[in-house]
Chain A
Amino acid sequence: MADMVFWIIVGITIGSAFMVVQSKSLLYSAYALLFTFVGVTGLYVFLWADFLAVVQVVVYVGGILVLIIFGIMLTNKITSVNISHASMQKSAGAIVVLGFVGVLGYMVFNTPWVELANAEPAQTAESLGHLLMMDYLLPFEAASLLLLGALIGATTLSRKEN
């Protein structure tokens, strides 16, 4: 049963990711991305990462995807802009993809994966919080400072000079 659901989710993820790349219309790509994100959420659930799964929906579906669509729609004179994207430099792209698949495949087959007993971790959010606030406080704060800098930078750049 779980296997079947897993493969359905994998199918949705890969199929919609293919749509994202293949679709000629930018907006269709963005909407196909919705299903990719939902599929990845399902994969997180299978890894018992419930908190991360929900974060995936909040950040990617609720934030990033809406921003992408918003950006397309806020484009000035939307009717005259050709909202499509075409593939370019196919041969160079193929080499990069093949190389990447090779590296990933090597990594997948040579990593000694630890197989956990089928036990559900009680509270992932709690242990995540402990890790972020105790063990990895400095990197966490550094990342938030970086994000704050990016936010202020984006606001400064997008403001019109008075």
Chain B
Amino acid sequence: MTVDMLIDWFATIGDFPILSFLLAVIISGVPLFLIMALNAMVAVYVERKVSAFMMDRIGPMGQGPGLHAGKWGLLQTAADAVKLLVKEDTVPETSDKFLFKMAPYIIFIGAFLGLAAVPFSSVLQVADFNVGVFYIIAVGSIGVIGIVMAGWASNNKWSLYGAMRSAAQIISYEIPAGLSIIVPIMMAGTMNLQEMIHFQEGNVWGILPNWIIFNNPFTFIAFFIFFISAVAETNRTPFDIPEAESELVAGWMTEYSGFRWAVFFLSEYANMLVVSGLAVAGFLGGWQSPIPGMFDTGAWGLFWFMGKLILLIFVMMWFRWTFPRLRVDQLMHVCWKVFIPIAMFNIFGVGIWKLIFG
């Protein structure tokens, strides 16, 4: 349900252009925000549990009568949310107060704009752009500005180092991610996310779904390069040198507390959603069913999209708890000397493949 569709529908009821525009924006924006909040709350709980199981612990649990975290520790996430909201909101004395307060909003806007183009199903998408893929890549870079702003405004060495590392990392990894997402664009011949997903209908060799990842060897490689670069772009372990707690306390987030920090957190998890959403739409068939021709009507689209999304987010958590953090030079080596040459070779390869077999 795009904003355009809502506006058109309101126009059939009556002629109130401004009111219907605002109403359409609210109707499509509020659920998006709820998805962000819900995603962060669920993901925090899942992250705790996943990390616990991977380390052979049990994670948050209910511990008898009195104050405890509910069955299976389910209340832990509610306690987290309440704690963050009532925590004292500190602004350092020597910080640049205006920029310090502004930074969380910029980062949030970056994440929120990206989420607006994610195709949750064939109808559930806030904005269906002609240049959707490129748009998501583009608004991802707004967050960098916010991160650098937060790091500088904090007036703290750790924050500044964290922000600079983060900017260098995100800008570098945008290149392999961008070059890899060109591969599905070349295959489908469109940058529109819905058309790209429609391109992936049907099956290949009668068994595999006709997803772009299974189309040819080059797209297969491109998916992994894109996904790893996307993890690096979200600043998550093993690519979390911007907030490496053993070196920089918490990097650019060091001076933040309470609600402002919660906004950073929300945006980080929303960014995971956005990049996974792009990976699912570009390579894994979007809302198409993995069994071609079965379970692909109506709400099944939403189910499959969310299923694939959750799978990818789980893989990101898996990364986080199984790999040690990379050093700065290793990180740049992987990006510039490994991923970018392979990604460029991929583009060339897909071009040849399309000429011969397409």
Chain A residues within CB distance 8 Å of chain B? 1, 4, 27-28, 31, 34, 50-51, 54-55, 57-58, 61-63, 65-66, 69-70, 73-74, 78, 123-125
Contacts and interface: CB of A to CB of B under 8 A. Distances in A.
Interface in B121-179: 129-131, 134-135, 137-142, 144-145, 148-149, 152, 160, 163-164, 167-168, 171, 174
B142 A57 contact: yes
A4 B18 contact: yes
B224 interface: no
Contacts, number: 74
B134 A62 contact: no
B17 interface: yes
A125 B134 CA distance: 11
A120 to B, nearest CB: 9
Interface of B: 17-18, 21, 99, 102, 106, 129-131, 134-135, 137-142, 144-145, 148-149, 152, 160, 163-164, 167-168, 171, 174, 191
B18 A66 contact: no
Given A66-B141, A74-B164, A54 B148 contact: no
Contacts of B102: 31
Given A58-B137, A124-B130, A73 B191 contact: no
Contacts of A62: 138, 140-142, 144, 171, 174
A54 B113 CA distance: 12
13 contacts: A27-B152, A31-B99, A31-B149, A61-B138, A62-B141, A62-B142, A63-B141, A66-B144, A69-B167, A73-B152, A73-B163, A73-B164, A74-B164
B167 A70 contact: yes
A34 B135 contact: no
A41 to B, nearest CB: 9
A50 B141 contact: no
A107 B118 CA distance: 42
A1 B163 CA distance: 40
Contacts of B144: 62, 66
Contact of B148 (A50, A66, A78): A66
A148 B129 CA distance: 32
A1 B21 contact: yes
A158 to B, nearest CB: 15
